[in-house]
Amino acid sequence: MWFLPKHDITAKVMNDIRICILPLLIPYAILVIPNLLDIFITLGSEMPTPELVIEFFQEDEVILIGWLHFLAFDILAGRYIWQRMINLDRPIYVSTPILILSMMVAPLGFLLGIITTWDSNNFKLEVNDRLINHD
């Protein structure tokens, strides 16, 4: 996505969920499912605070779960922005830094990606089409 955004291999990998995200979701599920009750009890018994999250992340397994969680969402955010960049034919000198940010600090990269691919006319058409189709 970063250096060869329009290459066939990039498109093949990023357009196939089995390749781009499933390798992260499977180990995530394997780690989370046995701990799901503990996670719900810990995060549901009291309002999550920074202190509670810090305490929760003292365990290596929770750190791994968190890391897989972050990676999965970084890839989803990056993949979404990559698709928008391709659809709007943004040049590589614009797409690469934004995609790198999307993978490293997803909310910031996602925000910049949305801004650089914002097309208010296209958005209005999408919203109007949805409204028309639902009536």
* Tens-digit pLDDT profile for residues 23-35: 999 999 999 999 8
Cα distance from N-terminal residue to C-terminal residue, the chain? 38
Determine the Cα–Cα distance for residues 62 and 5; give it in Å rounded to an integer.
Answer: 33
pLDDT at residue 134, rounded to an integer: 53
Task: Please name the residue ranges forming H helices in the chain.
Answer: 8-14, 17-20, 22-32, 36-44, 50-56, 60-87, 92-104, 106-116, 120-134
**What crossing angle do the helices spanning 92-104 and 60-87 adopt, rounded to 10°?**
160
Confidence band for 133, pLDDT divided at 50, 70 and 90:
low
**Has residue 125 got a pLDDT over 50?**
no
Determine the Cα–Cα distance for residues 42 and 52; give it in Å rounded to an integer.
Answer: 8
pLDDT at residue 28, rounded to an integer: 93
* Tens-digit pLDDT profile for residues 47-101: 888 888 888 889 898 899 999 999 998 988 888 888 888 888 888 888 899 989 9
Percent of the chain at pLDDT above 70?
A: 88
**What crossing angle do the helices spanning 60-87 and 106-116 adopt, rounded to 10°?**
10
Q: Which two tokens stand for residue 99?
A: 């995609």
Determine the Cα–Cα distance for residues 81 and 3; give it in Å rounded to an integer.
Answer: 14
| Tokens 């979404």, residue located | 80
